[in-house]
Chain A
Amino acid sequence: MRDVAVVGFAQRQMPEFDGSPTCVELLVPLFKECYEQTGWTRRDVGFWCSGSSDYLAGRSFSFVQAVDAIGVIPPVNESHVEMDLAWAMYEAWIKIQTGEVDTALVYAFGKSSAGVLRRTLALQLEPYTMTPLWPDTVSLAGLQARAGIDAGLWDERAMAEVANRSLTDAEKNEYAIRKGGSSVDELLARPMYADPLRKHDCAPVTDGAAAIVLAAGDRAREVRDRPAWLTGISHYVDPMGMGVRDLTRSPSAQRAGAALELDGVEVAELHAPFSHQELILRRELGLTDDVAINPSGGALASNPMFSGGGIRVGEAAKRVWSGEATKALAHATSGPALQQNLVCTLASSPGSTAATEGARN
Chain B
Amino acid sequence: MTRTLQAPVTVAFDYTRSTGPVIGRFLSGLRDGVVVGGRTSSGDVVVPPLEFDPVTHEATTEFVEVSSIGTVTSWTWVPEPVKDQPFDRPFAFALVTLDGADVPLLHALDVASPAEVRTGMRVRVRWASERTGHINDILCYEPLAPGEAETPNEVAGTSGDDPVTGVVTPVSLDYNYAASPEESLFYRGLNEGRIMGQRCPTCQKVYIPPRSACPADGTPTAEEVELSQTGTVTTFCIVNVPFLGQKITPPYVSAYVLLDGADIAVLHLILGVPADEVRMGMRVKAVWKPRDEWTFSLENIDHFAPTGDPDADYDTYKHHL
Residues in A lying within 8 Å of B, measured CB to CB: 18-22, 24-25, 27-28, 31, 42, 55, 58-59, 65, 67-73, 111, 113-116, 118-120, 123, 127-136, 138-147, 150, 192-197, 239, 241-244, 247
CB contact between B82 and one of A20, A67, A116, A143 (< 8 Å): that residue: A116
Asked if A25 and B180 sit within 8 Å, CB to CB, the answer is yes
Residue total for B at the interface (Cβ-Cβ under 8 A): 65
Q: Report B191 CB to chain A, min CB distance, Å.
A: 18
Given A55-B173, A71-B219, A133-B107, A22:B212 Cβ within 8 A: yes
Asked if B74 and A28 sit within 8 Å, CB to CB, the answer is no
Q: Taking CB as reference atom, which chain B residue is nearest A195?
A: B77
Asked if A194 and B78 sit within 8 Å, CB to CB, the answer is yes
CB contact between B26 and one of A72, A115, A129, A133 (< 8 Å): that residue: A129
Asked if A139 and B93 sit within 8 Å, CB to CB, the answer is yes
Q: Is B105 an interface residue (CB 8 A)?
A: yes
Asked if A127 and B15 sit within 8 Å, CB to CB, the answer is yes
Asked if B46 and A243 sit within 8 Å, CB to CB, the answer is yes
Asked if A28 and B178 sit within 8 Å, CB to CB, the answer is no
CB contact between B213 and one of A28, A113, A129, A193 (< 8 Å): that residue: A28
Query: In the assembled complex, which residues on chain B have CB atoms less than 8 Å from the CB atom of A150?
Result: 74, 119
Q: Is B229 an interface residue (CB 8 A)?
A: no
Asked if B47 and A243 sit within 8 Å, CB to CB, the answer is yes
Query: In the assembled complex, which residues on chain B have CB atoms less than 8 Å from the CB atom of A128?
Result: 17, 19, 23, 27, 48, 135, 167, 169
CB contact between A22 and one of B26, B77, B79, B180 (< 8 Å): that residue: B180
Given A24-B211, A69-B218, A134-B85, A143:B76 Cβ within 8 A: yes
Q: Can you show 26 pairs from A to B with CB atoms below 8 A apart?
A: A18-B4, A20-B180, A28-B220, A58-B175, A68-B218, A69-B213, A71-B217, A72-B215, A72-B216, A114-B176, A114-B177, A114-B178, A115-B176, A119-B173, A128-B167, A129-B106, A133-B86, A135-B85, A135-B93, A139-B76, A146-B119, A150-B74, A194-B78, A195-B114, A241-B48, A247-B74
CB contact between A31 and one of B95, B103, B171, B218 (< 8 Å): that residue: B218
- Docked complex: B96-116 residues within 8 A CB-CB of A: 103-108, 114
Asked if B169 and A20 sit within 8 Å, CB to CB, the answer is no
Q: Report A116 CB to chain B, min CB distance, Å.
A: 6
- Docked complex: B180-214 residues within 8 A CB-CB of A: 180-181, 183, 211-214
Asked if B78 and A139 sit within 8 Å, CB to CB, the answer is yes
Given A72-B216, A143-B95, A196:B76 Cβ within 8 A: yes
Asked if A71 and B93 sit within 8 Å, CB to CB, the answer is no
In the bound assembly, the distance between CA atoms of A116 and B79 in angstroms comes to 15
17 further A-B pairs in the complex, CB-CB below 8 A; given A20-B178, A20-B183, A22-B180: A19-B3, A20-B212, A24-B212, A42-B218, A58-B11, A68-B215, A71-B218, A128-B48, A130-B135, A132-B84, A133-B85, A134-B84, A136-B85, A144-B74, A147-B74, A147-B95, A242-B106
In the bound assembly, the distance between CA atoms of A328 and B17 in angstroms comes to 44
CB contact between A132 and one of B19, B104, B114, B134 (< 8 Å): that residue: B134
Asked if A143 and B47 sit within 8 Å, CB to CB, the answer is no
Q: Is B273 an interface residue (CB 8 A)?
A: no
Asked if A127 and B106 sit within 8 Å, CB to CB, the answer is no
Q: Report A185 CB to chain B, min CB distance, Å.
A: 22
Asked if A58 and B173 sit within 8 Å, CB to CB, the answer is yes
Query: In the assembled complex, which residues on chain B have CB atoms less than 8 Å from the CB atom of A142?
Result: 75-77, 93
